[in-house]
Structure 1
Amino acid sequence: MITEKELRKEVARILGSGKRGEVPIENGLVLDVMTSGKTAWRFRFRENGKSRRKSLGDYPLVSLKDARTKRDEMRLAVLRGESIVRPARKAATLREVFEEWMANQIEPQFTEKYASILRIRMKPLLRDCGSMLAGEIKSSDILSVIRKVEAKEHYETAHRLKQLAGQVFRYAIATDNALMDPTYALRGALHAKNAKHYPRITDPARVGQLMRAIRDMGQSPVMRVLLALHAYTFVRPKELREAEWAEFDFDNALWRIPPEKMKMRRPHIVPLAKQVIDLLRGLYKLTGHGAYLFPAQTSMDGSRHISENAENKALRDRGYMRTEMVGHGFRGMASTLLHNAGWNSQVIEIQLSHIDSNSVRESYNDADYMDKRVEMMQWYADYLDALRDGAK
């Protein structure tokens, strides 16, 4: 059996790797070692044919010996047919339901960062209603909390809190801790969300000035290419800074972005204009030795991409304040210019990855639909170049 000394050595090894890992003990007991440095005991078991996990506390607050004792108690309860996910016939508070939902539904499947975001988002509701029994919380209780969030004009946050609370209450229903979801009655009761419009430039003359500023950048040639590519392709900033050379098909002039990098979690194709191909071939000489098109300056081997602030800083260095243009603004700029030029709205929205190509196949067959996107992307690159060179 593993000793306390051996356990500390394993924890140090995992933390040194920079990745999340686990130290298996025995009989279902594991120590979850997170990148933040937090270490927590988990007991894995099966209940009603399903794999489950139960949190046993944080290490070293709960020692290896104590964790084994707790694990043995849980194993006996499971063998007796008792549920250890929640106390039998004991009503649970909202905080208890939330923690159980996190342990069973979120932490095993999602990143530690995402779990942390959910905890922060749930704080206002747990602060006011966390000690209340989940089954006794009314719609008015939740609305009272949401109104406090709205009073700060955090309307988007208020809607996300309601959505998260609904997920937790549906879990409470499934685990017999509630009979209804009180958030359901709040439909239409919240303040409308603010439409989020990123600063962008849409006046053709000013777009030309922007393209000249990018062309004439005296700083890093890599950042000059990044801004130019963003203008020509108008993908989301995250998709561009995480772009990898393996995603580009130079023979067919296509950029295939995998679903895990897309906001909508579906693959996306970006037809590449001739200008984009030329930029990429030049960039390859600078960064082609690594995985990413735009590696971090501190990543000598190109194994890490640039930060999310790098692009906006480059725009600031060219004199564009965050109130007039940001990286995400290239998308709004393209949408406005293409619509004003008379391009089909569906084709534009598909290229922006706002709608799925499957939804428009009644209007276009696959070949015609892709041909229109290829044509539009080349026209747009030519149009930006014309504006840059002084055309109206």
Structure 2
Amino acid sequence: MLSDAKIKAAKPQSSKYKLFDRDGLFLLVQPNGSKLWRMRYQFLGKRRELALGKYPGMSLKDARDKVFEYRAMLDNDVDPHSAHARRRRLEGGYTILEAIDDLLADKARRCVPAHVEKCRSRLYKYVVPRFGHLPLPGLSSDDLQDLVVAIDEAGKNHMALRVLGLVRETYDLAIRKRKADYNPAQPLKGVIKPVKVKNHARITRPARLAELVRAIDVYHGTWQVTLAMKFLSLTFVRQKELRSMTWDDVDVDRKMWVIPAEKIKMSRDHIVPLSRQAIEVLMDVRRLGGEKGLVFPGLRPGRPISEGTIVTALRSMGFTQDEMCGHGFRGTASTLLNEMGYDHKHIDMQLAHWDSRSVSSAYNHALYLKQRTELMQAWADYLDELRAGS
């Protein structure tokens, strides 16, 4: 049997050699002086060895305790090799940072790049600096709760919820890959309460909408702003889509505007059928500003109208911030079209309310195109009726 004195006295030789203890435990002495604990055993008639650890990091007593534990497994017809490998995996070098990178790689196979980058940015900003170096089991629910609560209390409720969700996904994937047993995010469900987000201000009364379309007609701003508001009311796209719109994206003959996926960070192109009235607006734009580059350019060459242009115009026309905003054209159209009985699937598709993270959704960018074309013309005709006071 071995003793600490014998182990310390063991000197390296030109080739490795073994010093045996009991129950299959032995010490392997390497030519470089390293002393490694090994356990030899038989399972189902096959001879096997386990690497237990390195002396003196693992003491003689620790090595014997480990062998005793594994011998008990053998007595119950359980191979200790799988349990040992699993323990080394959980206690070893697989860090939270590596698990996060595995999650991002998994998302990259399933999601669009913009979504993956957003996830990477959140995890690397909030989780990696604080916990990235830890082994995967090293993150406690309490530590994670402290992190997300701090983010929430900093006024970033949405971010706190997203970070918590991403950590949950990280550990869920690790569990599926058998690199973790426990998800520290699981007990934290409900810890961060979502803050109810106030809807974008929008007009929902037809009489007030009629006043808006008439006010746009007589607005005394630049032609770019006046025509941009007219076009926005007819198409109810996002303002960033309107501002980045180029003539290359427009097919006047087919009465169609195709917004490239990369412009809107979506998984697919978005088709906007153009009503007769929308085409008339574009013809006015072409007459006044030409047919190259941006459809609605700002005052600076090559730059679009600014982000605040639409809202500034709305305020000057007497529509308050609690009543209408640039994004509100979307809510206005959605509310009134639904009230008018149009199919909500067609409305949502025209609003581009799909799951932007899913690559698999890319195939159906032209879904319901016939119905959406009819819907857009009906909406433009409805605005004309309101304008005329019908």
1:155 maps to 2:157: yes
Matching residue within 212, 215, 218 for 1:216? 218
Any residues of structure 2 matched to 1:368-383 within 5 Å, and which? 369-383=368-382
Equivalent-residue separation in structure 1 for 2:125 and 2:169 (angstroms): 11
Equivalent-residue separation in structure 2 for 1:275 and 1:260 (angstroms): 27
Residue matched to 1:45: none
8 Å CA contact 2:201–2:328 kept in 1: the answer is yes
C-alpha deviation, 1:100, in angstroms? 6.8
Counterpart amino acid of residue 380 in structure 1: W
Counterpart amino acid of residue 352 in structure 2: S
8 Å CA contact 1:207–1:387 kept in 2: the answer is yes
Counterpart amino acid of residue 294 in structure 1: F
Counterpart amino acid of residue 209 in structure 1: E
- Listed as ranges, the gaps of 5+ residues in structure 2 are 1-91, 356-363
Equivalent-residue separation in structure 1 for 2:177 and 2:309 (angstroms): 46
Residues 41-66 of structure 1 show CA distances to partners (whole Å, capped at 9, x for unaligned) of xxxxxxxxxxxxxxxxxxxxxxxxxx
**Count, aligned residues:** 287
Any residues of structure 2 matched to 1:98-113 within 5 Å, and which? none
Residue matched to 2:32: none
Residue matched to 1:70: none
8 Å CA contact 1:312–1:327 kept in 2: the answer is yes
Residue matched to 2:348: 349
Q: 1:144 to 1:214 in 2, by over 3 A?
A: same
Matching residue within 181, 184, 198 for 1:182? 184
Secondary structure in 2 matching 1:270: strand
Any residues of structure 2 matched to 1:193-272 within 5 Å, and which? 194-262=196-264, 264-272=266-274
More displaced 10-residue stretch of structure 1: 209-218 or 305-314: 305-314
Equivalent-residue separation in structure 1 for 2:122 and 2:365 (angstroms): 43
Counterpart amino acid of residue 335 in structure 1: S
8 Å CA contact 1:129–1:141 kept in 2: the answer is no
8 Å CA contact 2:217–2:226 kept in 1: the answer is yes
Residue matched to 2:329: 330
1:118 maps to 2:117: no
Equivalent-residue separation in structure 1 for 2:148 and 2:242 (angstroms): 36
Q: Which has the higher contact order (CA 8 A, sep 6+)?
A: 2
Equivalent-residue separation in structure 1 for 2:267 and 2:365 (angstroms): 21
Counterpart amino acid of residue 122 in structure 1: K
Residue matched to 2:50: none
Residue matched to 2:10: none
Residues 284-315 of structure 1 show CA distances to partners (whole Å, capped at 9, x for unaligned) of 1333353211223212xx3x333333322232
8 Å CA contact 1:146–1:161 kept in 2: the answer is yes
Equivalent-residue separation in structure 1 for 2:192 and 2:256 (angstroms): 43
C-alpha deviation, 1:221, in angstroms? 0.8
C-alpha deviation, 1:154, in angstroms? 3.9
Residue matched to 1:34: none
RMSD between aligned residues? 3.9
Equivalent-residue separation in structure 2 for 1:297 and 1:260 (angstroms): 25
Equivalent-residue separation in structure 2 for 1:368 and 1:163 (angstroms): 31
Counterpart amino acid of residue 125 in structure 2: M
8 Å CA contact 2:260–2:270 kept in 1: the answer is yes
Residues 101-145 of structure 1 show CA distances to partners (whole Å, capped at 9, x for unaligned) of 899999xx968xx6799259833x567656754431023321232
TM-score normalised by length of structure 2? 0.61
Q: 1:314 to 1:171 in 2, by over 3 A?
A: farther
C-alpha deviation, 1:191, in angstroms? 1.6
C-alpha deviation, 1:150, in angstroms? 3.6
Equivalent-residue separation in structure 1 for 2:365 and 2:267 (angstroms): 21
Residues 330-369 of structure 1 show CA distances to partners (whole Å, capped at 9, x for unaligned) of 110001111111112222112112248xxxxxxxx99994
Residues 10-39 of structure 1 show CA distances to partners (whole Å, capped at 9, x for unaligned) of xxxxxxxxxxxxxxxxxxxxxxxxxxxxxx
Residue matched to 1:307: 306
Equivalent-residue separation in structure 1 for 2:190 and 2:200 (angstroms): 26
Equivalent-residue separation in structure 2 for 1:225 and 1:347 (angstroms): 26
Secondary structure in 1 matching 2:331: helix
Q: 1:266 to 1:338 in 2, by over 3 A?
A: same
Equivalent-residue separation in structure 1 for 2:120 and 2:310 (angstroms): 24
Give the structure with higher Rg (CA): 2
Residue matched to 1:20: none
1:295 maps to 2:294: no
TM-score normalised by length of structure 1? 0.61
